[in-house]
Amino acid sequence: MAHELACQFAKGAANRDAHRALPFQQVQQLSASGLLAITVPAEYGGADLQPSVVADVIREIASADPNIAQIPQSRFVYLNLLRLAGTADQKERHFSHVLAGGRIANAQSERGGKTVSEVSTTITRSGDHFVLSGTKYYCTGSLFAHELAVLARLVDPHGDAGISAGDYIAFIPADSPGVTIVDDWNGFGQRLTASGTIELNGVSVSLDRLVPRVGTVDAPVVYGAFAQLLHVAIDGGIARGALGEAVEFARGKSRPWFEAGVDRAIDDPLLIQRFGELTVDVSAAEATLEVAAHAVDDAFSDSGSPAASRSTSRASLAVATAKILSDRAANQVSSALFEVSGTRSVDAALNLQRYWRNARTHTLHDPVRWKFQHIGRSLLHGTPPPTARSDLTGILFLDQFGLYFWPDCRHCQGVCLAQWVVVSTRPDEFVALTRLLGRPR
């Protein structure tokens, strides 16, 4: 099914990109195919397919049109959050919505903070409901969505909100009063992902639409590795698509260089050599993607078991390795497309530059320079990657004044939690913290 759709999507990809024709029809086809619901757990009527299958679907579609492949990426991520942290009622509601064809888009990133991880969008209690306010950027897929998954931080100065402090994902209808979706994404690549701005002005949210984030991003539940795996799949798809385009052009349109002494460009030994090099780059990226995908499968299977932390670390490092190679392949092959195709390939009407624009834009997700650091630290020092924070050990205790954690920094060298001594003066936060750190020691 994914291959069939990819073949259809490829036919109009260049034209859609050239005219910035948003792929509403193609996204609807993707929804109707059932591929966007393949991770819904079996107990809620879904296929419950493994992350490796999702990655393969995303890679296949990205080879045809990475814009369409990126649109559901955050959807799969937030369905995973629901699986990990949602209540039974929340799972029933949202999984049923997805099975019926409902689409979810993210509203996570912000501007203006010191780092991309800072959150200024707020949730505050107002009577029997909560109020959501803030502005989100780079909200991929928002124009195609029925629901938005909004990352926000609880503001509760008096401790009377009735829920634990921290970050939440608010699942709200995209047409809720107070929600404005702005089509202002103007990146030179991935132009059709509808990654614009969302303004949230006093949006009313009921408690049953709030899902806590603390137990998913910090605990060893492979949440981050799964999200990054799908980005890797998109990059790998771009690389494969660019290589395929170069092969087709060289076979049918390129002329041989006069010094080669051949009648066809594809018989030029130097061109053959270069295509061999590019094929190795793409094949290596695809091979590491497959290894990483199966490592994430294993980590999903080990979730909640004593092996979870180790499996999560292994999966995160495998995804980091695949990210490095797919990033390299996507950027290099999409650029080399012109090198091996010749002058005719730069004709703007062909729009072959979209491969490089898309690769350069999408690979900016999660920079690879930090992947090298995680891999090197793991090899030399045995340091787990950032997702495996449950490997931290220390003393966690509660007295009449508050909750305290004194870390044993043998892994983080005092960086992660050394300043986190007085954790909370609210007993109800004890549960949230023990979920993050593991059983008290």
The whole-angstrom separation of Cα 303 and Cα 311 is 9
In total, how many domains does the chain have?
Answer: 4
In terms of domains, do 170 and 307 share one?
no
Chosen domain end from 69, 103, 137: 103
> 141 in a domain, yes or no?
yes
What CATH number did the domain enclosing 279 receive? 1.20.140.10
Q: How crowded is residue 116: how many other Cβ atoms within 10 Å of its Cβ?
A: 11
* Cβ 365 vs Cβ 330: under 8 Å: no
pLDDT band for 125, please (50, 70, 90 cuts): very high
The whole-angstrom separation of Cα 421 and Cα 240 is 49
Mean pLDDT calculated for residue range 98-123 = 92
Q: Which three-class secondary structure state does DSSP give residue 75?
A: helix
Q: How crowded is residue 198: how many other Cβ atoms within 10 Å of its Cβ?
A: 24
pLDDT tens digits, residue range 22-35?
A: 999 999 999 999 99
Mean pLDDT calculated for residue range 180-193 = 97
Residue 358 one-letter amino acid? N
What CATH number did the domain enclosing 58 receive? 1.10.540.10
In the prediction, which pLDDT does 405 show? 41
The whole-angstrom separation of Cα 327 and Cα 363 is 6
* Cβ 245 vs Cβ 282: under 8 Å: no
In terms of domains, do 96 and 124 share one?
no
Calculate helix-pair angle for 223-252, 51-64, nearest 10 degrees.
30
74-98 residues labelled b (16+ CB within 10 A) or e (exposed): bbbbbbbbbbbbbeeebbebbbebb
In the prediction, which pLDDT does 305 show? 84
Give residue 412's domain range: 392-437
Query: What is the value of pTM for the model shown?
Result: 0.87
| Angle CA 277–278–282, to nearest 5 | 120
pLDDT tens digits, residue range 363-415?
A: 999 889 999 999 999 999 999 887 544 333 444 444 444 444 444 443 333 33
Nearest in space to 389 (alpha carbons), one of 367, 370, 369, 416: 416
Residue identified by tokens 């508050």 is: 402
In terms of domains, do 170 and 187 share one?
yes
> 322 in a domain, yes or no?
yes
In terms of domains, do 329 and 350 share one?
yes
In terms of domains, do 30 and 112 share one?
no
In terms of domains, do 187 and 92 share one?
no
DSSP element (H, E) containing 386 = none
In the prediction, which pLDDT does 416 show? 38
The whole-angstrom separation of Cα 141 and Cα 276 is 36
Residue 357 one-letter amino acid? R
Q: Are strands 122-126 and 147-154 parallel, antiparallel or unpaired?
A: parallel
Mean pLDDT calculated for residue range 133-160 = 95
* C-alpha distance across the termini of the chain, in Å: 49
| Rg, C-alpha atoms of the chain | 23
> 387 in a domain, yes or no?
no
In the prediction, which pLDDT does 387 show? 53
In the prediction, which pLDDT does 216 show? 53
Nearest in space to 170 (alpha carbons), one of 155, 153, 156, 150: 150
In the prediction, which pLDDT does 392 show? 39
Q: Are strands 147-154 and 104-107 parallel, antiparallel or unpaired?
A: parallel
In terms of domains, do 243 and 205 share one?
no
> 119 in a domain, yes or no?
yes
> 432 in a domain, yes or no?
yes
The whole-angstrom separation of Cα 277 and Cα 272 is 9
Residue 157 one-letter amino acid? P
The whole-angstrom separation of Cα 33 and Cα 47 is 13
In terms of domains, do 276 and 425 share one?
no
In terms of domains, do 375 and 324 share one?
yes
What lies within 8 Å, CB to CB, of 323 at 6+ separation is: 228, 231, 232, 235, 366, 368, 371
In terms of domains, do 78 and 116 share one?
no
* Cβ 148 vs Cβ 107: under 8 Å: yes
Mean pLDDT calculated for residue range 290-310 = 92
Task: Give how far the C-alpha of residue 362 lies from the chain's centroid of Cα atoms, to the nearest Å.
Answer: 11
What CATH number did the domain enclosing 130 receive? 2.40.110.10
> 142 in a domain, yes or no?
yes
Mean pLDDT calculated for residue range 343-352 = 96
In the prediction, which pLDDT does 183 show? 97
pLDDT tens digits, residue range 226-278?
A: 999 999 999 999 999 999 999 999 999 999 999 999 999 999 999 999 999 99
> 386 in a domain, yes or no?
no
DSSP element (H, E) containing 124 = strand 122-126
Chosen domain end from 196, 215, 234: 215
Chosen domain end from 194, 215, 236: 215
* Cβ 74 vs Cβ 141: under 8 Å: yes
pLDDT score of 298 more than 50: yes
Q: Which three-class secondary structure state does DSSP give residue 407?
A: strand
In the prediction, which pLDDT does 47 show? 96
In terms of domains, do 360 and 230 share one?
yes
More confident residue, 350 or 218: 350
In terms of domains, do 372 and 397 share one?
no
